[in-house]
Amino acid sequence: MLRLGLLIAALISSTSFASAQPAAPPGPLSTAAERVYELAKPRILQIRSLLQSTGRQSSLGSGFLVTPEGFAITNYHVVSQYALDPKTYRLEFLAPDGSKGGLALLAFDVAHDLAVVKVDRKDLPFFEFDPRALHDNLPKGERIYAMGNPLDLGFTIVEGTYNGLVDKSYDERIHFSGAINPGMSGGPVAGGDGRIVGVNVAKRLDGENVGFLVPAKFAAELIARARSGPPLVVDKAREEVGRQLNGWQASFYNTLRDQGFRSSSFGPYRGLESAAPWMTCWGSTNADAIPKPRTSVNSTRCSSATGIFVSDRILTGRVDLSYSYFKSVDLNAFQFSKELSQRSWGFDALGNKRLTEQECRDDFVAGGTGSRPPLRATWCMRAYREFEGLYNVTLLALTQDRDREALLAQLSMQGVSYANAEALGRKFLEAIQWQQ
Amino acid sequence: MAAVMWIEVLSRHGEVAARERIETDVARIGRAFDNDVVVDDPHVAPHHLRISRGEDGELVAEDLGTMNGLYAEHGAHRLPRLPLAKEPGIRIGRTILRVHDALHAVAPEKLLTPPRAHARWALGLGVALAASLVGLEWLNTTQEPTANAILLPVLGLVTVLALWTGVWALISRIFMGQARFSLQVRIALTACIALVIWDQLSEVLSFSFAWRAISEYAGLGAWALLAATCWAHLRGIGPKHMRMAMGLVVALICAGAALQLLGKSETQKLIGQRATLGDLRPPEFRLAPLASADDFFKKAALAKVKVDQARAKEPGSGGLFGDDSVD
């Protein structure tokens, strides 16, 4: 797959960012954009992944200089091919003035989709971060400018609106109302004074002009880490990716636990539901189906909507929790169990060889004390071949106390450690109860 | 003392072509017309063989000094003399003869299946099979049942059965001269009923004991059943060359089962086990004791050991989903 990403530089002012002084009211819009672009021009880069063997580009993105020693910020996904396979790929930058040069990968942050690269030149002009952005202190509605090279058509500046952080999202992302297109990934987004507010990262395909930026504070943190931390050994970058994914899931499942759970009712049963605001739930029913269904089905599916891009082949980091309450309308017990057999399929992504083949274990699990029904449960898991200690896990459970009604519950976790998967799995099974 | 002996000349197909009653103590066999038994075989000498009684009264064959000699029926070595008490078969030239003393014990009378018994059985089994298929189809219906949905599989099975029994009847007609159609139908129907029972049993047990391997390997039982069915059909046709035919059938079936297993293990290597609860039955069918959550997660830990081991191995290449498909 060819990934296009073009870096657009935001306007930078190399003078100090005395933020006590409110930014001068922008002039007519076109003037502001012109000025931002003029400032950005020597500070933005196109970042290319090239095949070592042929020197052809295999992916393009954008980046921007942020320190005098030539450190530039881009997206992790712009350099992921090189990070995971430095023997096959190399990195190169292209500046708007046509100059080219090599790039060294210094650090990356897979979870926030950021990377730091260093250009082999010194004393270049660079962007500064907007101190207001570092403290999430920008007013909604402020005009900001995204830059990059969309679809490899040439460097572009796009006016848009800062719309605060995205609601109901585990990852902090700035909602940018403006057109972001492939190729602009890793490009800077600056305010009217040319200081960095965020980094282009993604857009929604099912909406118009709904773009997302990585907040500038994460870029600033990563730069600090790149300066002070031990240097990245590129040949060991894959292990670093594994460490970061492990770290990410550890803090994600901690947060999930800290946010708490509640017991929700599904027909006469109860099941686990996360209280985290970023677990979004959707319901569905077959009540209005024609012809009238012989089994009524009411389903709820809650998803964390977290997705971590590791490589073209690996997207991970998601949790799904779904419940379907089945009640026979006029099926007998055998027909009803047949209906359940046809519905009890987990969402397993087969054939991805970055994961091992799936292993499953089945059993009848006692409900234990209280009002817990016995369960028929299946645990299935696959391991990530490239990252030790990470798994995709699917846990299915079906209540076994009635023969013409049942709750089918499913928990699926991507990129989770075994300990976290088991802990949440136990909680999930215990929470399946009969309505008091 | 009975002096009578019988000499049988077999045809090329192994049936008795001619049977001579000899009332003297010595019989001569050869191509010439002055023999007691005349054999039309260019590889037989005009005076080839003499059958007489030894001192103990047992029959003995003697070579009369021929070019092609005397052999036991299944023997590979030329013999000057051949005692016939145990093995009555003789080979001279390309002809097989059997010499029996009048006292030679014959097999007891075999019970004849009463006329139309196979047909009556076949009818009964057919009705039972059709009823159970319709019943099972009905139990598996989750949508509004239609006659079409329920009867079509039965019709399909009837067609397959008709073809299957037709082929066996034809084979029987060729080798036995009798089609014995109702026997073939009875055997095929019995096999179908056994298959339905096996299929249901393996699914129920797989659910009852929460043991997915049972349903995953139920196919092997079906292959064994197929072998047994072929054996029964062959036996119905006649016991001649039974061993060879059965060997062939068993070899074919083993090959089929092996191929299926191999295919399964390769699919497994590509995609592993499916995340599904399998074929469910009403909760009353559970036979396995309820496990505690701790036991269940102990089992889960075994799955972890397995996938951790699998990490070290190279993934299988190619296959159902292309080389490296994305989630």
pLDDT tens, position by position, A307-354? 899 998 888 999 999 999 999 999 999 999 999 999 887 766 666 778
Do A222 and A118 touch, CB atoms closer than 8 A?
no
Instruction: Say what the alpha-carbon torsion angle B61, B67, B72, B73 is, to the nearest 10 degrees.
Output: -120
Q: Which H helix or E strand runs over B99? A: strand B95-101
Q: Which H helix or E strand runs over B50? A: strand B49-53
Q: Which of A229-243, A267-281, A397-411, B261-275 has the lowest mean pLDDT?
A: B261-275
Q: Are strands B37-38 and B27-30 parallel, antiparallel or unpaired?
A: parallel
| Closest CA of chain A from B188, distance in Å | 28
pTM as predicted: 0.82
Tokens read off for A223:
């730069």
- Name, in order, each residue with C-beta under 8 angstroms of A343's C-beta and a sequence gap of 6 or more: A297, A324, A326, A408
Tokens read off for A155:
């460097």
Nearest-by-Cβ selection for A352 from B295, B310, B327: B327
Tokens read off for A382:
């696959």
pLDDT tens figures, B244-260: 878 888 898 899 889 88
pLDDT of residue A347: 65
What is the spatial distance between Cα B37 and Cα A137, in angstroms, rounded to a whole number?
122
pLDDT surpassing 90 at residue A81: yes
What is the spatial distance between Cα A160 and Cα A154, in angstroms, rounded to a whole number?
19
List of chain A residues whose C-beta atoms are within 8 Å of the C-beta of residue B206: none
pLDDT tens figures, B110-151: 888 887 889 999 999 999 999 999 999 899 888 888 888 888
pLDDT surpassing 70 at residue B11: yes
- Name, in order, each residue with C-beta under 8 angstroms of B153's C-beta and a sequence gap of 6 or more: B133, B137
Q: What is the mean pLDDT of chain B?
A: 87
* Reported ipTM: 0.86
The count of CB pairs under 8 A between chains A and B is 203
pLDDT tens figures, A23-55: 445 555 558 899 999 999 999 999 999 999 999
Q: Are strands A156-165 and A174-177 parallel, antiparallel or unpaired?
A: antiparallel
| Closest CA of chain A from B199, distance in Å | 15
| Closest CA of chain B from A324, distance in Å | 14
Q: Which of A196-210, A217-231, A301-315, B236-250 has the lowest mean pLDDT?
A: B236-250
Phi and psi angles of residue A82, each rounded to the nearest 5 degrees, phi first: -65, -40
Tokens read off for A30:
């076109």
| Closest CA of chain B from A98, distance in Å | 36
Is A360 in contact with B303 (Cβ distance < 8 A)?
A: yes
pLDDT of residue A283: 95
Do A269 and A432 touch, CB atoms closer than 8 A?
yes
pLDDT of residue A9: 28
Residue of A nearest to B302 (CA): A361
- Interface residue A315 vs chain B (CB under 8 A): yes
Q: Which of residues 5-34 of B touch A (CB under 8 A)?
A: none
Q: Which of residues 260-289 of B touch A (CB under 8 A)?
A: 268-284, 286, 288-289
pLDDT band per the 50, 70, 90 thresholds, residue A388: very high
Is B277 in contact with A378 (Cβ distance < 8 A)?
A: yes
Is A382 in contact with B307 (Cβ distance < 8 A)?
A: yes
Is A357 in contact with B211 (Cβ distance < 8 A)?
A: no
pLDDT surpassing 90 at residue B324: no
Q: Which H helix or E strand runs over B83? A: strand B81-83
Under DSSP, is residue B162 helix (H, G, I), strand (E, B) or coil?
helix
pLDDT surpassing 70 at residue B326: no
Tokens read off for A334:
């055998």
List of chain A residues whose C-beta atoms are within 8 Å of the C-beta of residue B212: 360, 362
List of chain A residues whose C-beta atoms are within 8 Å of the C-beta of residue B277: 340-341, 344, 362, 376, 378, 396, 398
Share of chain B above pLDDT 70, in %: 94
**3-state class percentages of chain B: helix first, strand second, coil last, to nearest 5:** 50, 15, 35
Q: Give buried/exposed letters for A235-267 (b at 16+ CB in 10 A, else e).
A: eebbebbbebbbebbeebbeebeeeebeebebb
What is the spatial distance between Cα A155 and Cα A8, in angstroms, rounded to a whole number?
6
Do A148 and A78 touch, CB atoms closer than 8 A?
no
Tokens read off for B36:
């007691």
pLDDT of residue A22: 41
Tokens 């708490």 belong to which residue? A260
Burial of B11 (0-12, 13-18, 19+ CB in 10 A): exposed
List of chain A residues whose C-beta atoms are within 8 Å of the C-beta of residue B136: none
What is the spatial distance between Cα A366 and Cα A39, in angstroms, rounded to a whole number?
67
Three-state SS letters, chain A:
CCECECCCCCCCCCCCCCCCCCCCCCCCHHHHHHHHHHHHHHHEEEEEEEECCCCCEEEEEEEEECCCCCEEEECHHHHHHHHHCCCCEEEEEECCCCCEEEEEEEEEECCCCEEEEEECCCCCCCCCECHHHHCCCCCCCCEEEEEECHHHCCCEEEEEEEEEECCCCCCCCEEEECCCCCECCCCEEECCCCCEEEEEEEECCCCCCEEEEEEHHHHHHHHHHHHHCCCCCHHHHHHHHHHHHHHHHHHHHHHHHHHCEEEEEECCEEEEEECCCCCEEEEEECCCCCCCCCEEEEEEEEECCCCEEEECCEEECCEEEEEEEEEECCCCHHHHHHHHHHHCECCCCCCCCCECCEEEEEEEECCCCCCCCCEEEEEEEEEECCCCCCEEEEEEEEECCCCCEEEEEEEEEEEECHHHHHHHHHHHHHCCEECC
Task: Work out the average pLDDT over B48-60.
Answer: 89
What is the spatial distance between Cα A71 and Cα A104, in angstroms, rounded to a whole number?
9
Q: What is the mean pLDDT of chain A?
A: 89
| Closest CA of chain A from B142, distance in Å | 6
Neighbour count for residue A289 (Cβ, 10 Å): 10
pLDDT surpassing 70 at residue B325: no
Is B324 in contact with A376 (Cβ distance < 8 A)?
A: no
Q: Which of residues 275-294 of A touch B (CB under 8 A)?
A: 291, 294
pLDDT of residue A175: 96
pLDDT surpassing 80 at residue A436: no
What is the spatial distance between Cα A363 and Cα A377, in angstroms, rounded to a whole number?
5
Q: Which of residues 356-375 of A touch B (CB under 8 A)?
A: 356-368, 374
Under DSSP, is residue B30 helix (H, G, I), strand (E, B) or coil?
strand
CA distances from A367 to A373, A432, B212 (A): 5, 8, 22
| Closest CA of chain B from A1, distance in Å | 11
Nearest-by-Cβ selection for B324 from A353, A378, A403: A353
Is A363 in contact with B139 (Cβ distance < 8 A)?
A: no
Tokens read off for B44:
């037989």
- The C-alpha R_g of chain B, in whole angstroms, comes to 31
pLDDT tens figures, B163-218: 999 999 998 888 888 888 999 999 999 999 999 999 999 999 999 999 888 888 88
Do A71 and A106 touch, CB atoms closer than 8 A?
yes
What is the spatial distance between Cα B290 and Cα B35, in angstroms, rounded to a whole number?
85
Is A364 in contact with B311 (Cβ distance < 8 A)?
A: no
Tokens read off for A184:
């602009």
Residue of A nearest to B140 (CA): A335
| Closest CA of chain A from B190, distance in Å | 26
Nearest-by-Cβ selection for B326 from A312, A367, A403: A312
Tokens read off for A399:
């209540």
Task: Work out the average pLDDT over B95-112.
Answer: 87
Three-state SS letters, B116-152:
CHHHHHHHHHHHHHHHHHHHHHHHCCCCCCCHHHHHH
Do A404 and A436 touch, CB atoms closer than 8 A?
no
